Structure 1
Amino acid sequence: MAVKLLFLWLLFCLSWAQEQRCLQSASSCDECIQAGSGCAWCNSPQAHIRCATTEKLWSSGCHGRHIYNPSGSIQVVKDYSGADPADDEALLLHPQEVSLHLRPGVSESFPLTISKATDHPTLEPIMDVSNVPAGVHVTFSSITKGNPQLLQVSVEAAQCPSKSGTSNQNRTGPWSILITPRGFSVSLKLEITLLCECNCTGSHEENSPDCSGHGTLVCGQCECYVSYFGKRCQMNGDSVSPQYEDLCRKGPNAPVCSGRGTCVAGFCECNRLEDPKEYSGRYCECSNFDCPHHNNRLCGGNGRCECGRCVCNSEWIDSACNCSMETTSCMAKNQMLCNGRGVCECGKCDCIPPYVGATCEECSDCVDGCQDHAACMECRAFQTGAKKDTCDKWCAHLNVEIVETKDELQGKLCKMRTNEDLCYFFFSILPSGGQFAVARAKEC
């Protein structure tokens, strides 16, 4: 359990670190998607959070149609079929040409089949990557050897090339690489294109209504014309009107920006807090730290705070994520939750009276059934006792299991003396009341 909690905590920390890296790179769509493989951009003009993980954008109100989160793709351009090699010099590759769109930080792979003459050893592929920017890596791993030989080709880019230097002429490709088995002339053509720019960057809407007709809309953001400013270019020069403050109130009598920010041209700019705390929302009405605590920990340490509400990790519920759905601690010796005499809630048994105990297996007020069943247990296990001659009549209906020692018994343990050899024998009664087990070994 401790290992699992540590794993979940590490996942939470990694997710939080990714969100912070995205939020710090929100000046443009291109910078956003280059900040990390998990960063996405919101194209909506109404967005108050632009760059974050897809989950964060969803929770902030950005609809899926406005979220730009490019992912890599592989397209087989050429893969003609041919006969197997007919002579020592023949060699066939499948496929022959592949086009790959690559998001930096995410590896893409595809299979390469090499059919060769049977007397050739395993072939080593070689390639010339001199025209490919540094940080783009192509590797091979063998899946099967023999004839045909199956390789996996993996391609990954650490980051997008810098805009400065000679690479500025062609930052995103495409670049062509020829992969050739050593000693042969036939090659696979691999064309690589990096996804470093947003597809909305080249689409400009001049005099956009979303920019009050005074600016250009680019990837959901307004680039205001001279003398205009504001999130939607709605302000001209230095003119400021108190009416804009009404646009920053959640209700008629609500404080401006919920008292947590400044109204700038009708839009709230939330106060900056020390990381990881932050205010968000159209009116700065949300926070990621004003959530219920449990054991002095936000959301019990088992979830994250979003707009005043705890979003619990898997296997945790309740308003403060303090209720575990784990049931191991409620499991009784008979492998029943709470011995079938209670309900497992938040990892603890709520027992039905008169049963008590951690797993509802204790009952001091229950009627002792040992004496009532002793005669049947003795005749069923040892063919002795008061009912040895009528055992089939009075005891055949009981479900009795014979085990070797008392250590194998589960449930309520009974210790009774036999009628003939005056030794003690042991049997158990399971909570259901209709199942019994008797140990062969006695104590004399």
Structure 2
Amino acid sequence: MNIILMFPSDCRMAAKLACVCLLLVLFCLSWAKEPTCVTSASSCDECIQSGPECAWCTAPGANIRCHTVNGLRRAGCGKSYIYNPNSRVEVVKNDSSTDPADAKTLFLQPQEFSLHLRPRVSQSFPLAISMPTDQPITELTMNTSNVPAGVNITISSTMKGNRLLVQVNVEAAQCPRTSDSSNQNRTGPWSVYITFKGFPQSVKLEITLLCQCNCTGNREENSAGCSSHGALACGQCECYEHYDGQRCQMDTDSSLSRDDRFCRSDSNAPVCSDRGRCVEGFCHCDIRENPKERYSGRLCECDNFSCFYSNGRLCGGNGKCMCGRCICDDDWTGEDCSCSMETDSCLAKNQILCNGRGMCQCGRCKCEMPYVGPTCENCPLCENRCQEHTVCVECRAFGTETMKNRCDRECGYLTVTMVETKDDLPQRGDTNQFCKMRSRHDDCFFFYTLSSMPSGEQATVVRAKQCPRVVQK
């Protein structure tokens, strides 16, 4: 038997190594959750098949077409242009039993469903089997027919009284390959029947895979977006004969060589955007000295390094550079992703953003004049704070008629405490401002102190006013 002795320094080193290993595991897990969208997808179908979180931008001329919904929105694709099919389950038939004789037989409900499945996104739905009270509970065994390849159906069940509640889960692993001839209809719909051992009824499922984009069928022939030389479908041009290019702007019968025509955006544009060479009609993009920097796109028109910098970092370190444009991470915005969308740094002492005297932009307050300071709480050029709050102090403390109907609504920020004499007021200082103001209603003076609290302004008011003496004639 070998015994290994570990001294204190060795223990510390082992602990550090364990922490490093844990961090590596967490990093790998987080990396594994990154979206797998094929950002270079050449068609809508290819895009949505690359991952359940992938969406397609149908906006004409979009630089980035395949990404997550958030990624497309950050890239400037409007919500109405984003195609993102979602799985759904619909009940088609749900007849109920009303015949008293049925109480002595088994009854299954609902009887038919329509399922639209996006691969790798599971869909669940419940079934209820009514059983006679004298029917023994048997083990639930499921039989299925005509289940397409790659579709998995599982069940779980619980007994509640004389009703057997069944949860059915359906998931498709992936879209069928084009070369797969096992199913003549690659995406359905397929009719699948589920029966349970010992039960005469069956459940019908109409299953359709969401592997193709419905925008493909919405073609705009002779589209102006395709130079009237092609059809626009899913935001992309399908050029007619003798025309080519992103917008079908190139006449292939021109004097340019065939290879050059396919490697230019138009007849006057440089070959492969001056970032690569044309080989048999395809652009081979140049390789950068920095391996992290690369050109991409059919004409090498995109890159991942020419975006805006902030604080010496590409896209501020808060996003990714795609086709010369920053795609910001969540909670960041701006052309260089330097604008934080968090607002905690804008909270004033009263827990109001920018003290209600400005706007929180990029994590900083943009104050309204004449307010200044990190949270717009300073106002060196303002009128005396006493003057600013005197109307609310008077209405809250003495119930004056002028603001009787508006006092609670407009002066809710102010908390009032009454004291008997001026000697009972809080000690004057940096946080307490002493005020002597004349009432607008009885020509008397009243006294109070103001202090700012996290919950709002705090006023301590002397109950007795000081009124001028009336001279008897």
* Matched-pair contact (CA < 8 Å) for 2:35–2:68: no
Secondary structure, counterpart of 2:182 in structure 1: helix
1:111 aligns with 2:126: yes
Shift of 1:412: 6.7
Distance 1:334 1:169, change over 3 A: closer
Distance 2:355 2:225 in 1: 64
Matches within 5 A, 1:24-35: 25-26=41-42, 28-35=43-50
One-letter amino acid of the counterpart of residue 105, structure 2? A
Distance 2:148 2:309 in 1: 50
* Matched-pair contact (CA < 8 Å) for 1:316–1:323: yes
Q: Which residue pairs with 1:236 in the alignment?
A: 253
* Matched-pair contact (CA < 8 Å) for 2:144–2:195: no
Distance 1:40 1:30 in 2: 10
Q: Which residue pairs with 1:169 in the alignment?
A: 184
Distance 2:359 2:76 in 1: 39
1:301 aligns with 2:323: no
Deviation string 1:353-381 (CA, Å, 9 cap, x unpaired) is xx9999999xxxxxxxxxxxxxxxxxxxx
Distance 1:357 1:61 in 2: 31
Distance 1:331 1:207 in 2: 55
Shift of 1:105: 1.9
Deviation string 1:186-239 (CA, Å, 9 cap, x unpaired) is 1111121223344566899999998889989887454775xx573337303874
Distance 1:128 1:393, change over 3 A: same
Distance 2:452 2:59 in 1: 63
Matches within 5 A, 1:432-443: 434=458
Distance 1:201 1:244, change over 3 A: closer
Distance 1:295 1:149, change over 3 A: farther
Which residue of the other structure, out of 75, 86, 89, is the alignment partner of 1:74? 89
Q: TM-score, normalised by structure 1?
A: 0.57
Distance 1:138 1:300, change over 3 A: same
1:153 aligns with 2:181: no
Q: Which residue pairs with 1:405 in the alignment?
A: none
Secondary structure, counterpart of 2:36 in structure 1: helix
Deviation string 1:270-310 (CA, Å, 9 cap, x unpaired) is 768766755669994x6543334344433333334466554
Distance 2:230 2:167 in 1: 49
Shift of 1:157: 0.4
One-letter amino acid of the counterpart of residue 158, structure 1? A
Aligned CA RMSD, in angstroms, stands at 6.1
One-letter amino acid of the counterpart of residue 253, structure 2? N
- Unpaired segments of 5 or more residues in structure 1? 1-8, 362-390, 401-410, 414-428, 437-444
* Matched-pair contact (CA < 8 Å) for 1:39–1:51: yes
Shift of 1:255: 7.7
* Matched-pair contact (CA < 8 Å) for 1:175–1:193: yes
Shift of 1:98: 1.3
* Matched-pair contact (CA < 8 Å) for 1:85–1:91: no
Distance 1:102 1:350, change over 3 A: closer
Distance 1:316 1:302 in 2: 7
* Matched-pair contact (CA < 8 Å) for 1:178–1:188: yes
* Matched-pair contact (CA < 8 Å) for 1:140–1:151: yes
Shift of 1:150: 3.9
Distance 1:123 1:223 in 2: 63
Distance 1:145 1:89 in 2: 17
Distance 2:78 2:373 in 1: 51
Matches within 5 A, 1:169-208: 169-199=184-214
1:18 aligns with 2:36: yes
Q: Which residue pairs with 1:392 in the alignment?
A: 420
Matches within 5 A, 1:262-411: 278=295, 284=301, 287-305=303-321, 310=326, 312-316=328-332, 320-326=336-342, 328=344, 392-395=420-423, 398=425
* Matched-pair contact (CA < 8 Å) for 2:244–2:252: yes
Distance 1:142 1:275, change over 3 A: farther
Q: Which residue pairs with 2:143 in the alignment?
A: 128
- Unpaired segments of 5 or more residues in structure 2? 1-26, 379-418, 433-450, 461-473
